[in-house]
């Protein structure tokens, strides 16, 4: 049900729920090989797993007047972005259809929590309001990490803000810089591109999902069954499952204890799993008992 104005509860959603694509500064350069010039073909199974009709059923309110991202996150833009990442939902590690569907459901659940406009009594339930926002409201800073700007190549541009943008709410200069270099846009000089071009917006979210940042694995590897925990992971109880992707994205805030945002991620994941016909959502849906990275 469209609303002519943003209710006060909706205005507060993005600040309280978004994880802002957390990642401590990292200096791993393997993504240059992984992403540059490799992704050219559309994932063969993706459009059969996620049809436009199912996409619409998931995001019932993304184009409501109440959502600032109205008209931005189209199905076509998502497929165009996914064409650069044929491993998403379709890699050799996905040995069955349920695993492929599970990864797609997990990714969409995570970006939904990052951009949710839902609340407890929202029409159609709180988990029908993903992709409502494309940009962080009232960011508290420009998200310029001084250490990264001084000691690395990811120097902040003058008068630019690296606050949360796009489906994964990409944030900080040390994420915008590598994302831009990997995807072919000026992440440091024109970070606003992520909130202006829907294909680039989805590409940054998929880039974040597919890219390992040691000691963090990629979310993709976790959901594809490719993650192998080491001794430190075992000691921290960082076991495979949807909960570990939450730990990768925003573990410093949401893991090792109860958190409503982490619960929201699970709520979206359960709903999308039902819509996509996932038979088994897998173990360890939350990260309440995992230590963050």
Could you list the active site residues? 114
Cα angle for residues 118, 142, 257 (degrees, 5° grid): 50
Closest CA to 185 of 204, 167, 170: 204
| Complete DSSP assignment for 263-293 | HHHHHHHHHHHHHHT-S---S----TTS---
User: Which residues make Cβ contacts (< 8 Å) with residue 2, sequence separation at least 6?
Assistant: 61, 64, 65, 66
Half-sphere exposure (Cβ direction) of 242: Cα atoms closer than 13 Å = 28
Q: What is the DSSP letter of 129?
A: -
Q: How far is CA 213 from CA 109, 174, 183, 216, 245, in A?
A: 21, 12, 17, 5, 13
Give me 258's structure tokens: 């109860």
With tokens 């893991």, the residue in question is: 255
Cα separation, 157 vs 126, whole angstroms: 38
Cα separation, 292 vs 284, whole angstroms: 15
């Amino acid at each position: 049900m469209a609303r002519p104005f943003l209710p006060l509860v909706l205005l507060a959603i993005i600040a309280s729920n978004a994880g802002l694509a957390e990642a401590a500064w990292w200096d791993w350069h393997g993504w240059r090989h992984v992403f540059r010039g490799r992704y050219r073909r559309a994932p063969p199974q993706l459009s059969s797993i996620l049809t436009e009709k199912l996409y619409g059923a998931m995001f019932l309110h993304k184009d409501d007047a109440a959502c600032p991202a109205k008209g931005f996150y189209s199905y076509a833009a998502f497929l165009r972005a996914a064409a650069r990442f044929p491993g998403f939902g379709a890699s050799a590690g996905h040995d069955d259809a349920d695993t492929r569907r599970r990864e797609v459901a997990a990714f969409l659940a995570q970006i939904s929590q990052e951009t949710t406009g839902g609340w407890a009594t929202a029409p159609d339930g709180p988990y029908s309001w993903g992709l409502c926002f494309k940009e962080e409201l009232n960011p508290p800073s420009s998200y310029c990490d001084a250490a990264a700007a001084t000691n690395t190549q990811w120097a902040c541009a003058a008068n630019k803000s690296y606050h949360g943008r796009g489906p994964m709410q990409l944030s900080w200069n040390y994420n915008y810089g590598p994302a831009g270099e990997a995807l072919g846009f000026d992440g440091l000089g024109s970070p606003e591109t992520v909130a202006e071009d829907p294909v680039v917006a989805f590409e940054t979210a998929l880039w974040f999902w597919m890219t390992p940042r040691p000691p963090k694995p990629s979310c993709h590897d976790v959901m594809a069954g490719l993650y192998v925990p080491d001794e430190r992971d075992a000691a921290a109880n960082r076991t495979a499952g949807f909960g570990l992707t939450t730990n990768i994205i925003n573990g410093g805030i949401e893991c090792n204890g109860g958190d409503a945002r982490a619960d929201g991620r699970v709520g979206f994941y359960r709903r999308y799993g039902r819509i996509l016909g996932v038979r088994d959502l897998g173990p360890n849906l939350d990260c309440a008992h995992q230590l963050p990275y």
